[in-house]
Amino acid sequence: MGKASGSALEGGKMLAKGVLLDVVFPRAYRRAAAATSLNPRKVVFVEVRESSLSDSFRLLHDRLVDRGYDVQVAFLEYHGSDYVQYYRNCRAMIDQIAAAPVVFLNDACNVIGCLPLRAGTRVVQTWHACGAFKKWGMSTADLKFGGSRAQKERHPHYGNLSLVTTSAPEVNWAYVEAMHLEDCPQIVKALGVSRTDVFFDPAWLERARARVEEAIPQAQGKKILLYAPTFRGRVATAEGPDALDIPALKRALGKTHVLLVKHHPFVKRPPELPADCADFAFDVSSGALAIDALMAAADLCLSDYSSIVFEYSLLRRPIAFFAFDREAYSDWRGFYYDYADFTPGPVFGTTTEVADWARSCEQAFDSAEVDAFRDRFMSACDGHATERILAEVFG
């Protein structure tokens, strides 16, 4: 495809998107709302990317079902490829939310943002991550990673919000900036993150470790090192980093550890693990083991710029950062806090340093740095976030 025809195709997509968001979807919502009245017991959870209920919503969903609410889930299945099916799913979602007083989101959704919502409908954004690490939303406007500010403002991904929940008061300012909520900062509240409640349940933690060991028998009797990096590049073409020297890590840790590699869900083709490391390194990016269970089972966590370090800090275990491309990543996307001062653990640029850290953790780890990080960025996550959110929304 030539450059001119590629530009024409992209222009056609943008035109179609504008017509849908500016005309078709608002008109469809008005018709649906006019044809029905609000059902005071109806609640709709909107999963923008997932095809099944995510852990972000699980506890909230189940509590509301137990309380007798009419709970529905709309799956938009946005993957950046099958746009026709995605917009069909959006159209079906519009009919679902037309009679709902409460709509829950956990991701960006410009479709919700474009609708002329009726009085009495509230949209609650629980977000899928904790804290504030790498920049996102309006914070990336005009950066290499983000689109232009004009594009983001035309079809806002965070419009129509009534409540935004966060993990701690410390990060509220970042959510106000990212979601362009400068006109209503009071809707951002540190009520906690629902899915972190499980980390305060000892029985759940034990079951999670058992599930991981059942799926990966080689982990039994060994330390589990979880490597969970974020993606590189743009969302539609996301790639996973492959700078970690896994054979070298096996030589250093193979007798005492196993390595579980969990790439970001945006990464469609994770880098292949070396065949001669099959008894040491395991790719758990796509499988039955959810990230929360993997964190619960892991004795150590190695990341780079991923927000999972916020959740992991609740477990008071060693955290380190393999930031071999920190300067390039900062220039590409940027951080909300100074990286060197912010990270609750050592920052490494080589595999040798990572191996030395993992070997020494059992004797040398002091939780004080992790505890301070947790108290600053996760203070509203105490095992009762789900109940606080429900009380705020439903009284």
- DSSP letters of 282-303? EE-SSSS--HHHHHHH-SEEEE
Using an 8 Å Cβ cutoff, are 86 and 23 in contact? Answer: no
- pLDDT (tens, 9 = 90+) of the chain, 395 residues, equals 555 555 655 666 778 888 999 999 999 999 999 999 999 999 999 999 998 999 999 999 999 999 999 999 999 998 766 788 999 999 999 999 999 999 999 999 999 999 999 999 999 999 999 999 999 999 988 776 767 788 788 889 999 999 999 999 999 999 999 999 999 999 999 999 999 999 999 999 999 999 999 999 999 999 999 999 999 988 888 999 999 999 999 999 999 999 999 999 889 899 999 999 999 999 999 878 999 999 999 999 999 999 999 999 999 999 999 999 999 999 888 999 999 999 999 999 999 999 999 999 988 899 999 999 999 999 999 999 999 999 999 98
Beta bridge partners of 250: none
How far apart CA 45 and CA 103 sit, in angstroms, is 6
| Contact partners, residue 249, CB within 8 Å, separation at least 6 | 259, 280, 281, 351, 354, 355
Using an 8 Å Cβ cutoff, are 289 and 215 in contact? Answer: yes
Nearest to 298 by CA among 224, 201, 206: 224
Using an 8 Å Cβ cutoff, are 91 and 29 in contact? Answer: no
Is the torsion defined by CA of 168, 345, 267, 213 positive or negative? negative
How far apart CA 45 and CA 275 sit, in angstroms, is 41
Predicted local distance difference test score (pLDDT) of residue 346: 96
What is the Cβ-side half-sphere exposure of residue 344, based on CA atoms within 13 angstroms? 32
Using an 8 Å Cβ cutoff, are 39 and 100 in contact? Answer: yes
Beta bridge partners of 104: 45, 124
Structure tokens at 270: 């994770």
